[in-house]
Structure 1
Amino acid sequence: MASTVTSKSSRPGYGQLLRTRGAWTFLLPGFAARQPFAMLTISIVLLVQHTTGSYGIAGAVSAVTGVSMALFAPFSGKFADRFGQRAVLLPGVLIHSVSVLAMTLLALSHAPLWVLFAAAVPAGASTPQIGPMVRARWSVKLHGTPLAQTAVAFESVTDELTFVLGPLFATALCTGLHPSAGLFTEAALTLVGGLLFAAQKGSQPVPSRSAAAASDEHARVEHVSALRIPGVRVLIVTFLGIGAVFGGMQVSLAALTESMGKPGLNGVLYGIFAAGNMLSGVVCGAVAWKVAPQRRLVVGYAALTVMASGLWAAHSLVLLAGLGLLVGVCIAPALITGYTLVDSLVPPTGRTEAFTWLTGAVALGQAAGVTVAGQLEDGFWDGAGFLVPLGGTALAFVVLVSLRSRLVPRPAGRTVARGVGHRVPVTVD
């Protein structure tokens, strides 16, 4: 009987999810506001490379932004949980927009490198963590319903769309209009989308500080940092490798197509990579999997590592497009499975923080990938930066296989679910 209920409740479709009352009020502005997260890195690379002529310098400036984003993202998640999303978003989007505009103007004025580094820090640190905030809003509406798992899959697919559409949009703007167009658009989307998202107060989770004050039971619930959970640390390393794929692909495709005198093909090749990513993301998120997520992650990551291993040797644009498509197909299942594992590994009081750690890991891996790929492109042959996706995924795969047992939830963690404080999230009025 239990298996029958699980089977039926695990397959509600995206259409049913999107008909949830009030969902579109935060989904639309949230989608606009989360695009800048994926646009920032490649927009910086293309602008700074244009003004300095060096992919190494461009990658270094972008890396500072990515590292700042990765370091400050978990704090943003904690503050949003405690004080409310609106309290974090309102100052955050303003600071981010101003910082990005300042960095853009400094790059166009050929400011010294250290000045660009200094401007990159607040630009990255203030990047709004919209994805985890949208997930938290879904939990307010759907906790305890079959649609909750559909929402997890839907948000993972949306993340996929963000990671591939953002760089594609930024590349088209930078190559088709002006190298600074990507950053100007990123700042505008952050400001408009972020403010509209923050304005949707009705779907915002109740801050844990307010909930604790209103309920003695919630006040007794101990918040466990997501970083203390071994499985989360394994997922962070796994997502670092995925970020390295994004960073290495962005820089290497731009450098290779420019060296061939066909910079416009950069957008086409990245679009093919995006197509594979989006297609597999939609399919993977809609499937009711019978295989354990731990095993799915290992198998999917192995496939990603194998596909990424051939990029550096692909000297034909047609072959590179085909491999890029396959790499994209392999990324989505790994990301979706990783986010899904958070639900079983992390108590509700730490899930927003856990999501920001994973999001930050992608950003940090992307920053490292951009930096190393830029140095390889400057110092070696055109396309040498494609070694970064191989190295990043291979190292992460070794860690994943060695520590995969930590992705299995501990029995002690399950006993928390018997408590009323666990079953009733702090987001409920």
Structure 2
Amino acid sequence: MRTLLTRYRTALRSPGMARVITAAFAAYLLSGMMSLSLLLTAERTTGSYATAGLVAGAYAAALAFAAPAWGRLVDRRGPRTPLALAVALQAVAVSTVVFAANSGTPALLVAAAGLAGACSPPTSTIASRVMAGVPDEAVQRTLFALSGFITECVFVVGPLVVAALVLLFHPLWAVGLAAVASAAGALLLRGSTAVRRLEEETARTAAGGSSGWNAAQVRVLTVVALGAFAIGGVQVSIVAHAQGSGSSEGVFVALVATGGVVASFLYGGLSLPGSLPAQLAACLGLYGLLILALAFEPGLLVSAALLLLIGAATGPADGIEAMLIGKCTPPAAQARAFAVLVTANWIGFALGSAVGGALVERASLAAGVVATGLAALAAAALALFSRVPTGPTSAAAR
């Protein structure tokens, strides 16, 4: 434990990294709160679950497809201008959401939610870009693991904060708090010394940036999309399994999140054997096999153990995927690559949720689980047999 904590202390003492991680945590609350807050706002104001689903979907889709544009802007102009612009636009977008909710017009609320998604500050993209520039690979791995850890934590804490605010106030308060946290994180990041150094690095490298994609990037993004497909599908399967066994859906989902939190933290502090692609393949392969075990619909205790292990298996994957995409991308195009990583995750998750839900409803729980598990195994195979660079590619943010 002492060695593990020492690794984290060393990583956070890298110039500017403590502020970057703090800013990222504040900004990540947006992801953990906004979609649920918008869904509850829409349901409360329109009385329609269908409209609520459209509102949440519009936000997620707009965020996913706008992220590469923000990343491209960061690569060309540096990080500080896009952060300031996004904070200003997000304030306008959230004000539009408030107006639309008070008007009770479903179409306007859907459009406002889409605008809010499109104006989400590229904080995670820029934080990843800064971390990818750390020259010490061990420190870089610890930082990405810490980023994954706080992301997992936010998706546990965020819904609880939303639930408390909805219990006491209107869901719009949760929308506002998510926006404030996002803006605070973006502005904190904008003022960090690490981001200022990245601004200087961008000025030197932007002119020579390549706009094309290489084969290694495409392979990593395909692995990411397949892995996210499995995550989306397994969440639907978990809910169906909980209902079928008379257990709590919330407890089952929380078990997966808990496993992810613990594994993400441990990964950053341990020295594991094998290359990054091999480590990712091991995570996704174990994930797929554990998911397939759910097809047998085991009892409560076995299910609980499996769900903890499922979360633990996928916990380190986000950090490994981010490191891999950074290593296959030239410094001048890394912000866009990290943004597309976000898009690949959202698209894969949405497709996995849709396919998994359809299979569970129209066929059986086993069919949904098998399809999800096979997607994870396919991602593991592609990761294992991909030739992805493992050496550093950037000297940015030294």
**Would you say same fold, with TM above 0.5?**
yes
Q: Is the 8 A contact 2:20 2:127 kept in 1?
A: yes
Q: Is the 8 A contact 2:132 2:394 kept in 1?
A: no
Q: Distance in 1 between matches of 2:283 and 2:31?
A: 25
Question: 1:2-401 counterparts in 2 under 5 A?
Answer: 13-49=7-43, 57-103=51-97, 106-107=100-101, 109-112=103-106, 114-138=107-131, 142-143=134-135, 147-171=139-163, 173-174=165-166, 178-200=170-192, 203-207=195-199, 211-212=203-204, 218=205, 222-225=208-211, 228-244=213-229, 247=232, 267-309=250-292, 321-369=304-352, 391-392=371-372, 394-395=374-375, 397-398=377-378, 401=381
Q: Distance in 1 between matches of 2:138 and 2:305?
A: 38
Q: Is the 8 A contact 2:281 2:383 kept in 1?
A: no
Q: Distance in 2 between matches of 1:145 and 1:299?
A: 20
Deviation at 1:81, TM superposition (A): 2.5
Partner SS state of residue 386, structure 2? helix
Q: Distance in 2 between matches of 1:49 and 1:259?
A: 26
In structure 2, the CA distance between the partners of 1:251 and 1:186, relative to structure 1 (3 Å rule), is farther
Q: Is the 8 A contact 1:242 1:393 kept in 2?
A: no
TM-score, with length taken from structure 2: 0.79
Q: Distance in 1 between matches of 2:46 and 2:357?
A: 13
Deviation at 1:101, TM superposition (A): 4.7
TM-score, with length taken from structure 1: 0.74
Deviations 1:177-234 (A, max 9, x none): 554443232122112322233233564334378633xxxxx57x73234x61223223
Deviations 1:64-96 (A, max 9, x none): 222221222122122122212220011212322
Unaligned runs of 5+ in 2: none
Identity score, percent? 25
In structure 2, the CA distance between the partners of 1:156 and 1:55, relative to structure 1 (3 Å rule), is same
Partner SS state of residue 409, structure 1? coil
Deviation at 1:17, TM superposition (A): 1.6
Q: Distance in 1 between matches of 2:373 and 2:194?
A: 41
Alignment correspondent of 2:388: 408
Partner SS state of residue 289, structure 1? coil
Q: Distance in 2 between matches of 1:376 and 1:97?
A: 40
Q: Distance in 1 between matches of 2:28 and 2:352?
A: 21
Q: Distance in 2 between matches of 1:299 and 1:144?
A: 24
In structure 2, the CA distance between the partners of 1:239 and 1:188, relative to structure 1 (3 Å rule), is same
Q: Is the 8 A contact 2:233 2:372 kept in 1?
A: no
Q: Distance in 1 between matches of 2:382 and 2:185?
A: 41
Q: Is the 8 A contact 2:16 2:193 kept in 1?
A: no
Partner SS state of residue 71, structure 1? helix
Kindly report the root-mean-square deviation, in angstroms, between the aligned alpha carbons of the 2 structures: 4.1
Q: Distance in 2 between matches of 1:388 and 1:57?
A: 26
Q: Which moved more, 1:173-182 or 1:311-320?
A: 311-320
Q: Is the 8 A contact 2:226 2:379 kept in 1?
A: no
In structure 2, the CA distance between the partners of 1:107 and 1:170, relative to structure 1 (3 Å rule), is same
Q: Distance in 2 between matches of 1:286 and 1:65?
A: 35
Q: Which moved more, 1:43-52 or 1:89-98?
A: 43-52
Deviation at 1:32, TM superposition (A): 0.4
In structure 2, the CA distance between the partners of 1:70 and 1:87, relative to structure 1 (3 Å rule), is same
Q: Distance in 2 between matches of 1:329 and 1:68?
A: 30
